[in-house]
Structure 1
Amino acid sequence: MRSTQVNKKLLKDYQPFVEEEVIESIIELSRELKGLRVLHVNATSFGGGVAEILHTLVPLMKDCGLEVDWKVIDAPPQFFDLTKRMHNALQGKEDFLSEEDKRLFEKVAKDNAAYIGIDEYDVAVLHDPQPVGLPAFANFGNCKLVWRCHIDTSSPNEVFWNYLNTFLSYYDAGIFTLKSYAKDGIAIEKIYDIPPSIDPLSNKNRMLSEEEMKKAMTKLGLVSGRPVIAQVSRFDPWKDPMGVVDAYRQLKRKFPDLQLLLIGSMASDDPEGWKIYEDLLRYIGMDYDVKVLSNFHGIGDIEVNAAQRISKVVLQKSLREGFALTMSEAMWKKTPVIGGNVGGIPLQVHHGVNGYLVESVDETVEYTERILENPDLAKELGRNGYEIVKKHFLCTRHLLQYLELFRDLTR
């Protein structure tokens, strides 16, 4: 297990974006919780929404006077193969969990548990399945344990769920994006619903200069002046990138200048991503109006920011989805969005208000076409989306809910 370093962030810098009473509530709770020792544990320090959120929340918690550590588990590659299978199975995919799988999972938990000191922390938040087994082997003492599950486990593969649930009795609380994501019979009594959030001051979401936009456009390889639609997400079968390509191909018949941008982030805990990426390239073939890019092409937060700003529509055509931060990211930039009618996407996308919810390729084509043909509609959807994110999905709201949870567990 290794520690992750974070850049400093100050709560006062977020005051221009949020209502005064939110900041006041955070400050009041900060006084009450000052000195609280908090540990976050997850699988990776980069790539994916969990790491991105922690790079914002951990420094903000520190600015609130909490003593916060963020640690990442150490594990061999085959462990992450297993936990990606587990991730998919917890969303309902058929699979088989062998005794060898269980031995590997428990060995990694035991090896990493050696780095946990007795009564070193007051609250520990363990994120997703990868570190969930730690409490079975580590002596956390009087520390309150929280499992933060970022995926929808309401209809899981029962074999994987039953195994995972054997570890959940160690926990004092569970956090899900929606309470309905928690499987019936979960061995945690207290369940909290805390949706994810975006950081308006991060490189991915802040305003970009004209020069930054120009440089980003060059790296993205797009032809200026031609319309773009984009999907930004991990290369994952649940994100349905092939379905996005199918929708683009139909739209291309009516909009021959249309360009498609698919941006993914390769994370160290997601070995399946490379296979999906390679399959996607084969599926696309020789269409040079489709760009498939990732962090391994030098595409970072600023390029993603620019892509979401210049796109006419940002898609997230997921088949299963925990939340999809990319929807709120695009909405913050006043870009219309179209998302799969699954998981946490309907929390953000209000059909016909700030975008559209879809359940098929044909619906994706229909609503994307509607936006492309109606610039006034696109502006209205974008304005509405911005206001929704400002009120519900910024990191200050997220921080406040965590502080409220810590108070509930430790008072």
Structure 2
Amino acid sequence: MPGQDRHQMLFGPENSPLLQVGFMGLVEVDTDFHVCLTNLDDWKKTVSAKTWEVCNFYAADLKKRNVKIAFFSSTPQGGGVALMRHALVRFSHSLGTDIKWYVPRPRPGVFRVTKHKHNILQGITGPDERLSADDRKLLSAWIEENAKRYWTVPGGPLSSPAEGGADVLIVDDPQMPGLIPVAKRLAPRRPIIFRSHIQIRSDLVDQPGTPQAEAWKYLWNNAKCADCFITHPVSAFVPRDVPPDIVGYMPAATDWLDGLNKNMRDWDVAHYGRIFNAACKNAEMPTIQHPDGIFDVLDAYEKFHNRLTRERPELRLPKLLICGHGSVDDPDGAIIYDQVVDHIEHRIPHIRHLICAIRLRSSDQVLNALLSKATIVLQLSTREGFEVKVSEAIHKGVPVIATRAGGIPLQVEHTKNGFLVDVGDTDAVAQHLFDLWTDEALYHRMSEYALSNVCDEVSTVGNTLSWLYLASKLSKGESVRPRGQWINNLAFEECGVSVTPEMPRLTRAVEMEDP
């Protein structure tokens, strides 16, 4: 089937038919490519002609030299890293480049420890919560067990290239840096890239004796063996131990063709809306007939509700929707959800009928339908790396009210496609909600700007371009020293293609400090 119908049919309700983990932990995207979801013409339409040209320039070089690239991350499903890798491997297969993606076998207790480590590095745990010796031992044993059993054998991705191993390795999140010294022992000259996807409180890391300093020391003892350190485009995410010349910036990406983002027909939206409302009824939550930092969201919405009913009683009250299907490596999701429901029922019962908070079964199309019909999106994170949901909302022309946290200010242009507020400033959020809901001209101006200013760097093609550039350079034995530059910029410069003013770009505020 051509176009949209093909995508609609093959992205099933839970995507489960397309998810397989095979021999050696290889993630077999699209049932090992027996299912065809997209073609190159589909991808080409999602980006500018120059981005497409540069991407194919590096793809041609890698194909000519038969370069093999291997990504390693902790889980094959749930969370932003997995979403990006599914899309990247799918696009790579269409291009003809050799990119494979591996995940370890799960082990009891590991995800609780990795989540705890993330929370420590992000500075959201108590001062006495630390990564214990037992935690470090568990993580190290998990990595070593998977490496020894699956990946270091002849022909495994960590074995030397002479034995069939990959030519370039990317360790794709802070859960698995223990792989880096293992791979370096097997092939000391093979290039390895470490990709950090989380917000690291470098200010706390730099204070000796803090939980953050201890957790970072464990991570960095392994990651320092890598040739490049790639992170979100925020300088405050990089501890001072990391040599500045190996630091490169790359935003998180999303895929405009997948079930989360593709254009949906009205019939499709209505169908998945019915599925969503059935889930709401089962959870005893109000249904959404007109789909229009969580506790800050609730506080801001209550203030907005009170003002709207007082000053503009003739206007319909929009409902507040808080939903998602979580990640398999996030054990805190259920706990937070229970706290949110308790807050709604006991602290703001007078507006309970207007708030739907629900955990959904995994279904990209349901989330897509809800975002497609949303009027305003709130992203009130207290800590954040680079939230692709912000980019996805902007791509649909939905204005975003978001906090000045982490990489979010790189995505939202204040007063153009949304509003930026300080963390915890729920009064400002309520004000912006009121303005967008009551000022039709303001709303449409922001929506139109969002639709016409979507950046290629947050797309699958733009993201793949950066990875292909790094693999092309490193696999030739050439040194890559980004020195705090955006990888996408380096890729364009290397092949002599200029970035033109009409190409939308993310804000280059890389020196921005976390408030």
Query: TM-score, normalising length from structure 2?
Result: 0.74
- Asked if 1:207 is matched to 2:263, the reply is yes
1:386 is displaced (CA, Å) by 2.3
Equivalent in the alignment of 1:160: 215
1:100 is displaced (CA, Å) by 1.0
Equivalent in the alignment of 2:168: 123
Residues 399/282 of structure 1: CA separation in 2 closer, same or farther (3 Å cut): same
Equivalent in the alignment of 2:306: 253
* Larger RCO (CA within 8 A; separation ≥ 6): 2
Contact 1:179 1:192 in 2 (8 A): no
Equivalent in the alignment of 2:140: 106
CA deviation vs aligned residue, 1:170-219 (integer Å, no higher than 9, x gap): 21111111151221112685121111122111111111111111122223
- Asked if 1:2 is matched to 2:45, the reply is no
Equivalent in the alignment of 1:133: 178
Equivalent in the alignment of 2:385: 322
Equivalent in the alignment of 2:498: none
CA distance in 2 between partners of 1:244 and 1:140 (Å): 50
Q: Please give the secondary structure, in 1, of the residue aligned with 2:118.
A: helix
Equivalent in the alignment of 2:508: none
Aligned residues: 397
Q: Please give the secondary structure, in 2, of the residue aligned with 1:183.
A: coil
CA deviation vs aligned residue, 1:358-390 (integer Å, no higher than 9, x gap): 121111111111111112211211222223324
Equivalent in the alignment of 1:264: 324
Partner of residue 146 from structure 1, selected from 189, 193, 206: 193
CA distance in 2 between partners of 1:78 and 1:316 (Å): 30
CA deviation vs aligned residue, 1:63-119 (integer Å, no higher than 9, x gap): 222222211122323111111111111112342122111111111111111122312
Q: Please give the secondary structure, in 1, of the residue aligned with 2:323.
A: strand
* AA matched with 1:25: V
CA deviation vs aligned residue, 1:307-329 (integer Å, no higher than 9, x gap): 11211111110011000111111
Contact 1:48 1:265 in 2 (8 A): no
Q: Please give the secondary structure, in 2, of the residue aligned with 1:46.
A: coil
Equivalent in the alignment of 1:234: none
CA distance in 2 between partners of 1:61 and 1:281 (Å): 42
Equivalent in the alignment of 1:185: 241
CA deviation vs aligned residue, 1:3-52 (integer Å, no higher than 9, x gap): 21213543331222322122111112111011211111111111111111
CA distance in 2 between partners of 1:302 and 1:322 (Å): 25
Equivalent in the alignment of 1:58: 89
Equivalent in the alignment of 2:312: none
Contact 2:402 2:408 in 1 (8 A): yes
Contact 2:68 2:167 in 1 (8 A): yes
Bigger Cα displacement from structure 2, 186-195 vs 305-314: 186-195
CA distance in 1 between partners of 2:186 and 2:405 (Å): 36
Partner of residue 335 from structure 2, selected from 260, 275, 283: 275
5 Å-filtered alignment, 1:332-343, equals 332-343=395-406
Computing the radius of gyration from Cα coordinates, the structure with the larger value is: 2
5 Å-filtered alignment, 1:69-80, equals 69-80=100-111
Equivalent in the alignment of 1:301: 364
RMSD of aligned residue pairs (Cα, Å): 1.9
CA distance in 1 between partners of 2:225 and 2:54 (Å): 31
Equivalent in the alignment of 1:86: 117
Contact 1:331 1:386 in 2 (8 A): yes
Gaps of 5+ in 1: 229-239
Contact 1:168 1:188 in 2 (8 A): no
CA distance in 2 between partners of 1:265 and 1:223 (Å): 17
Q: Please give the secondary structure, in 2, of the residue aligned with 1:76.
A: coil
Equivalent in the alignment of 1:237: none
Q: From the two aligned structures, give the one with the greater strand fraction.
A: 1
1:158 is displaced (CA, Å) by 1.1
Bigger Cα displacement from structure 2, 258-267 vs 199-208: 258-267
Gaps of 5+ in 2: 1-23, 31-35, 206-211, 278-286, 310-316, 477-515
Equivalent in the alignment of 2:470: 405
Contact 1:353 1:381 in 2 (8 A): yes
Query: TM-score, normalising length from structure 1?
Result: 0.91
* AA matched with 2:181: A
Residues 398/273 of structure 1: CA separation in 2 closer, same or farther (3 Å cut): same
